[in-house]
Amino acid sequence: MSSRAIDHQSMLFPATLLAGLVLLAGCFNPNGGVTGYFAYVSTPVSPKTVVIYDVRSGEAWFKKEIPVGQQLNFRFLSQGGDNPQFSPSRFEWAMVEAGNNASALTNQMTAPPEEACSIRVDIREPEYHPIPDSERYRQDAVFEGVDPADSEDDIPVGNRNFYDE
């Protein structure tokens, strides 16, 4: 047994800091969990545009308008860029069908380091496709067991309330 006592309070702050850094190291995908991949899904009520900025210059270096029903997947690799100071990273991305979280990232380009990037997601106006009234409302509907000739009798006539009687 050691004669040295362990001060648990002095170890609490570094352990908390380390746990926070571990959580920030990866990125969340739509299904949850830290994976290192980014995934943004565009839906009819939430169509998205993803813009990535270099915070050192404030310039946008990547912008994709994600079509409805599609998903943008991407990740940063810390090595593979063409300039060790300004673009030391490699950026891999793919536009795939929504829900495809295991796709191959088929496009790549050099990029600023991930730590110098800011991701902005803009939500565009929803894309509602007009539905004709003939598909939205039942017109001249005949219900099972109801004679169409007898349906005239079921329609109330006049402006009479039950409490007026």
Per-residue pLDDT tens digits for 54-109:
999 999 999 999 999 999 999 888 888 777 777 888 999 999 999 887 778 999 99
| Cα torsion 143, 144, 149, 151: sign | negative
**SS percent in the chain: helix, strand, coil, step 5:** 20, 30, 50
Phi/psi for 121 (5° steps) reads -110, 115
Are 132 and 115 in contact by the 8 Å Cβ rule? The answer is: no
Is 0.85 topped by the overall pTM? no
Instruction: With respect to residue 154, please indicate whether it lies within any of the assigned structural domains.
Output: no
**Which tokens go with 84?**
């060790």
Instruction: With respect to residue 118, please indicate whether it lies within any of the assigned structural domains.
Output: yes
Instruction: With respect to residue 55, please indicate whether it lies within any of the assigned structural domains.
Output: yes
Instruction: With respect to residue 75, please indicate whether it lies within any of the assigned structural domains.
Output: yes
Range of the domain at 67: 34-128
Please state, in angstroms and rounded to a whole number, the distance separating the CA atoms of residues 5 and 14.
Answer: 18
Instruction: With respect to residue 161, please indicate whether it lies within any of the assigned structural domains.
Output: no
